[in-house]
Amino acid sequence: MKRPLRFEGTDRYHLNPELREIVNIAIALEKPLLLTGEAGTGKTQLAFEIARALDLQMEEARCKSTFKGEELCYVYDTVLRLNDSRFGSGDTGRDVNNIWDYIRFGPIGRAFTADDRRVLLLDEIDKTDSDTQDNLLDVLEDGSFIIREINHRVAARQRPIIIITSNAKRELSDPFLRRCFCHYIPFPTPEEMTEIVRLHHPDIPEPFLEAALTAFYRLREQGFEKPPATAELLDWIGALKESGARGPGAGKDMAHLGTLLKRTQDILKFKGVPRPFRF
pLDDT in tens, the chain (279 residues): 456 799 998 988 988 899 999 999 999 999 999 999 888 789 999 999 999 999 999 999 998 888 878 889 999 999 999 999 888 888 888 999 999 999 999 999 999 999 999 999 999 999 988 888 888 888 988 999 999 999 999 999 999 999 999 987 778 888 888 889 999 999 999 999 999 999 999 999 999 999 999 999 999 999 999 999 998 999 999 999 999 888 887 777 788 989 999 999 998 888 887 765 554
Q: What is the pLDDT of residue 173?
A: 84
Please tell me the distance from the alpha carbon of residue 260 to that of residue 228, in angstroms, as a whole number: 5
Given a contact cutoff of 8 angstroms between Cβ atoms, the answer to whether 90 and 42 are in contact is no
**For position 276, what pLDDT does the model report?**
59
Chain centroid offset of residue 273 CA:
35
Tell me if 229 sits within 8 A of 235, measured CB to CB.
no
Give dist(CA 74, CA 65) in Å, integer.
17
Report the residue count for the chain: 279
State residue 253's pLDDT score. 76
pTM metric for this prediction:
0.86
pLDDT value, residue 1: 47
Q: What pLDDT is stored for residue 3 in this prediction?
A: 63
| 104 in Cβ contact with 77 (< 8 Å) | yes
Q: How far apart are the first and last CA of the chain?
A: 71
